[in-house]
Amino acid sequence: KRFYKGTEVVQADDGAYEIKLDQRKLKTPKGDILKVKSELLAFAVAAEWDAQQDEIQQSIMHLTSLCMTAQDNPHHITKYDAVHGIVNFLESDTILFFSSEEELYRLQEKEWGPVISWFCKRFNVDLYSTRDIANINLSLETKQTLQNHLLCYSLTAIHGFLFAVGNLKSLILTLSCVERQISVERAVLLQRLEEEYQAGYWGRVEWAHDVGQLDSEARLAAAIIFIHLNSPFKVNKCKSQSVIK
């Protein structure tokens, strides 16, 4: 139940921003005061709390959740481990697995193909799609290139990548959004392409479709905002760092 009337963003002595619910400072699950480096992000978190009605729905406050998870880091992940896991996920990336059904395959080629081509050109990597169910084996060079790129981000921003990739089941679509190559709405549509195709044949429960799509868009939008507001620099100019052993 909502226990506060309003929110306020204040800057602490250490330069970080804190969110107040009336006179109470917002705390993380660990009990620490939530501290946000970006003023814009702090106001976005405050807006999530302002938008709550009689009952507080923490499950839809994605920016709040991301900020708290990044600060508490409950699983004690390191940036290197997180990046390694994200890149390895590419071997099961949604849009690299094409259907054995010809009509759906042609649709996937039309819609996914240009995104895959852009990704390969942008990051100078070689990827190939498959119509098999087995995972794809990436070259060591491709893995190293993508790991070096992701290591340019802070661990805080990497939490945003983990959230986005986990929801989209696609690093390709996530990075395409981060690089502003495609919109959030487009990324979700591409991730749901087979579902949309099947719905065209078998019909759909309209409200369930809309709710699912909007929820995916909200989650991805929060992740992209979180990544950008925690990346105040030109990532493509950063010095390469290798984690391949």
Q: Where in the chain is the domain with CATH 1.10.3580.10?
A: 79-237
Q: Are 168 and 182 in contact (CB under 8 A)?
A: no
Q: Are 150 and 72 in contact (CB under 8 A)?
A: no
What does pTM read for this prediction? 0.90
Q: Are 226 and 41 in contact (CB under 8 A)?
A: yes
Q: Where are the alpha helices (DSSP H) in the chain?
A: 39-50, 62-72, 79-89, 102-123, 140-150, 155-168, 171-178, 184-191, 193-202, 206-229
Please tell me what DSSP assigns to residue 229. H
Nearest by Cα to 25 from 41, 44, 1, 49: 49
3-state secondary structure of 80: helix
Q: What architecture (CATH level 2) is domain 7-60?
A: 2-Layer Sandwich (3.30)
Q: Are 151 and 243 in contact (CB under 8 A)?
A: yes
Q: Where in the chain is the domain with CATH 3.30.2180.10?
A: 7-60
Looking at domain 79-237, its CATH class is mainly alpha
- For strand 17-21 and strand 24-25, is the pairing parallel, antiparallel, or unpaired? antiparallel
Task: Say how many C-beta atoms besides its own lie within 10 A of residue 111's C-beta.
Answer: 16
Between the alpha carbon of residue 52 and those of residues 45, 46, 95, 207, 219, the distances in Å are: 12, 10, 36, 22, 17
The pLDDT score that the predictor gives to residue 133 is 79
The pLDDT score that the predictor gives to residue 200 is 72
Per-residue model confidence as pLDDT tens for the chain (245 residues) = 888 899 999 999 999 999 999 989 999 999 999 999 999 999 999 999 999 988 999 999 999 999 999 999 999 999 999 999 999 999 999 999 999 999 999 999 999 999 999 999 999 999 989 998 777 889 999 999 999 999 999 999 999 999 999 999 999 999 999 999 999 999 999 999 998 888 775 555 555 557 788 999 999 999 999 999 999 765 545 544 444 43
